[in-house]
Amino acid sequence: MEEQDPQQFNVIGKGSINIWLAVIISVVVTAVLVGGGVYFWQKTIIDSNSESYKSLQNQITDLQTQLKSTQEELLSKIDENNNQLPESGDSTDNWLEYKHYGYSFLYPNHWTTAVNGGYILFFDGKDVKMELKCPILEIGYEAWNFQTSQRQIISENKSKTVKLWLGTPLNDLNPIALIFIGSGENDEFQKSCQLSGGGYDDLFVIFEKIYNSIK
């Protein structure tokens, strides 16, 4: 039986160890590469999701800002429109004052005034709501069908008669309202005036308020 060379066994043993070391190193390297790849893939997804979340959050913030701005704009327009609406109820707190010949009266704050010849016109938008004429026109109003009221005011330390006439003239379908200021027997005719209007729904209500505000 031949004797084996001990040096040969030593070479074989070393070769086997080297192979196993190579395998182990390969496995470790592969694990590190795979693990690192998974880590970076997951991190990329997390970062991507994080950027998407931030972008979505920014969009939500922008929408909330736009919504708030729109709400404020709508509320501002609503307030503006409310201020332009005709007054309702009995209040004349926000009405405007007109002065002439030492007396004054209130009129709705959404009306505007303009001079037309010797008349003062009161407009609601494009429609004439009332005319102020001085002195009083003498055209025989007494022949028409009116409900009348009158009272006394003090103007320039003098008593003056104020009359309110509401009704529908004969053979005329449109209601008419008239206010006569300084129409009494002892009043100075040249300083008398009349307010007249007609043809709209709240005519009588508005003229009654104007009549009661004269002073």
Q: Which CATH architecture best describes the domain 96-213?
A: 3-Layer(aba) Sandwich (3.40)
In one letter, which amino acid is 148? T
For residues 83 and 95, which has the higher predicted lDDT (pLDDT)? Answer: 95
Q: Residue 105: which pLDDT band, with cuts at 50, 70 and 90?
A: very high
**Average pLDDT, integer, range 136-140:** 75
Most confident of 1-5, 41-45, 144-148, 199-203: 199-203
Task: Check if the beta carbon of residue 106 is closer than 8 Å to that of residue 164.
Answer: no
Residue 14 has pLDDT above 90, yes or no: no
Domain ranges of the chain: 1-84, 96-213
Q: How far is CA 73 from CA 60, 70, 79, 84, in A?
A: 20, 5, 10, 17
For residues 20 and 141, which has the higher predicted lDDT (pLDDT)? Answer: 141
**pLDDT value at residue 33:** 57
Q: How far is CA 54 from CA 42, 46, 51, in A?
A: 18, 12, 5
**pLDDT value at residue 1:** 47
The CA distance from 12 to 70, in Å, is 86
For residues 62 and 79, which has the higher predicted lDDT (pLDDT)? Answer: 62
**pLDDT value at residue 15:** 54
**pTM here?**
0.57
Which helix (H) or strand (E) element contains residue 147? strand 146-155
